[in-house]
Amino acid sequence: MADTNLTAILYEKGDLRLEDKPVPEPGPGQVQLCMQQVGICGSDVHYWTHGEIGDFVVRAPMVLGHEASAVVSKLGPGVTSLKVGDRVAIEPGVPCRRCNYCKTGRYNLCLDMKFCATPPYDGNLARYYIHDADFCFKLPDHVSFEEGALLEPLSVGVHACNRGNVSLGSKVLICGAGPIGIVNLLTAKARGAAKSRLDFAKTMGADGVIKVTSRDPKETAAQVEEVLGEKADITIECSGAPPSIRTAIYSTRSGGRVVLVGLGPDTVELPVVNAAVREVDIVGIFRYVNCYPTALAMIASGKVNVKPMVTHRYSLEQALQAFEAAKRGEGVKIMISCGRK
C-alpha cells in the first residue's frame, strides 16, 4: 500500500489543491476504501466557485467529492458485512442513527448527518478514504465502478419519484435536463411513466422534448400541454429556477403533484392560489433515504442504463482540469479515476 494519499482539497473559494496526505486508518465499524471513481457534482463546483451553499460555508480546508465507488482495502474492528477486495458504492451520508428522524426511517433529515464534502465534513476525492461499513453497498461483478458512483445521483431520482408517487402510466414532466433531470427521467421511465421531458434527454428515453423560449410560465405550460396532450400528473422540477418552478405548477393537472428537487434562491414567488384551488400538492426532497438498494437493483437488472451519462473522464492528477471543464458546463457527467495511472 502507498504511504501517501493524493487528495483534492478546497482551501477556500477558488483555491482547489492536490496534496498528499497520510493514508487514513479505519475505526470501529468502518472500512478503509481504495477509491476508484468519483463523479463531479454541481455542489462540488459551487463550493469551489462560491465557497458556500446556503448555510454550509467552507471555513476550513475540505476534501471534495461524494459520488463515489471504491474497493475495500482494510477492515476496522467489528466489521463483518464486508471483506477486503469487495467492490462497493458509497452512500455519502452517515446519520447519527439515534434521533427520531433516524428511528422513523427518515435519516436524510437527521440533524447530525455527516455528509461527504458538506462543511465541515471531508469528501472522498482521494486515493484512500474511511467510511462506515453499513453505508457501503457491494457491487455485482457486472456493475462497473462508474455505474457504482452514479448510484448517488440516481438515488436522488429514486427519492423524487417516491415522493411524487410515480407509477405505471403516470404522465411525468421533468423540468431541467442536467444530470439530476436525466436520472429523474430514467427513474420515471423505469417505473412505467408514460411521458417525460431536451437533445440528450431524448437519447436517454424522453418521449417529448421542450426547449423553453419564453420566460412566461403560462406560455411554457401551454407548450408542455401541447407535447403531453394534457397537463402532467406529476412534475419533477430539477432546475431550481423560479420561472421553471412556476411553470411546473401551471403544467400539473388538478389533483396532481409537484416535486421540488432543484435548489435555487431562498425565496421564490409562486402561484400558490392556483395550486391551492386546484389541489396541486407541492413537496420537496432532501437528498435521498433508503434509496441505494433500489438504485443498485435498477442498474444491476439492466432496467436503467446510466453509462451514457459519463461524457468526460479524467485522472485524479487531472482533477483541476476536470473541475475547470465542469465549471464550463462541458458534457453531462465528469468522472475522475482515483487509481494510480
Cell of 127: 486515493
Q: E strands of the chain, at which residues?
A: 5-12, 15-21, 30-39, 52-53, 56-57, 62-63, 67-75, 87-90, 93-94, 114-115, 128-132, 136-138, 172-175, 232-237, 252-260, 281-284, 310-315, 333-337
Closest CA to 126 of 83, 66, 85: 66
Cell of 138: 457491494
Residues linked to residue 6 through DSSP beta bridges, in sequence order: 20
Residues linked to residue 287 through DSSP beta bridges, in sequence order: none
Q: Which residues contact 251 (CB under 8 A, 6 or more apart)?
A: 173, 220, 221, 224, 225, 231, 232, 235
Identity at 92, one-letter amino acid code:
P
Cell of 310: 459519463
Instruction: Tell me the pTM.
Output: 0.93
User: How does DSSP classify residue 112?
Assistant: T
How far is C-alpha 279 from the geometric centre of its chain's CA atoms?
A: 29
* Dihedral sign, Cα of residue 33, residue 34, residue 39, residue 43: positive
pLDDT of 97 reads 97
pLDDT of 226 reads 83
pLDDT of 220 reads 86
pLDDT of 228 reads 79
Spatial contact of 82 and 88, defined as CB atoms under 8 Å apart: yes
Low-confidence residues of the chain: pLDDT under 50: 1-2, 197-200
* Half-sphere CA count of 153, side-chain side, radius 13 A: 32
Identity at 334, one-letter amino acid code:
I
pLDDT of 1 reads 44
Greatest alpha-carbon span in the chain = 64
Question: φ and ψ at 300, to 5 degrees?
Answer: -60, -35
Cα 259 to Cα 62: distance, rounded to the nearest angstrom = 31
Q: Which residues contact 129 (CB under 8 A, 6 or more apart)?
A: 24, 32, 33, 35, 68, 70, 90
Tell me whether strands 15-21 and 5-12 are parallel, antiparallel or unpaired.
Answer: antiparallel
Cα 123 to Cα 8: distance, rounded to the nearest angstrom = 9
Q: Which residues contact 178 (CB under 8 A, 6 or more apart)?
A: 42, 238, 239, 332
* Half-sphere CA count of 218, side-chain side, radius 13 A: 2
CA angle 336, 340, 341 (to 5 degrees): 85
Angle between helices 179-190 and 151-164 (to 10 degrees): 60
